[in-house]
Amino acid sequence: MYGKDRIYKKVELIGVSSNGIEAAIETAISRADTSLDKLSWFEVQNIRGHIGEDGGISEYQVVIKVAFELKE
């Protein structure tokens, strides 16, 4: 594959899940997968979360960039 002219696009998504950091990333990836072409890789930009009324972590919010190749 290497050496051939091609072009990728990156979009910035935020995945949210109450089940931890990897689960939040997977949420973003799975949703992106249905609306974008073939995805290639992701890069974590930021990890955040919300704290509920009970003082516990109610959800993780992970900002990622997802890259996919633009087909001709």
Question: CB atoms < 10 A from the CB of 44, how many?
Answer: 12
Q: What number of residues does the chain have? A: 72
Q: Is 50 in the site for a copy of itself (CB under 8 A)?
A: yes
- Regarding 37 and contact with a copy of itself (CB under 8 A), the answer is no
CB of 61 closer than 8 Å to CB of 25: no
| Minimum distance from residue 62 beta carbon to a copy of itself (Å) | 9
> Per the structure block, which two tokens stand in for 71?
């087909």
Q: What are the residues binding a copy of itself (CB under 8 A)?
A: 2-18, 20-22, 25-33, 35, 38-44, 46-53, 55-60, 63, 65-67, 70, 72
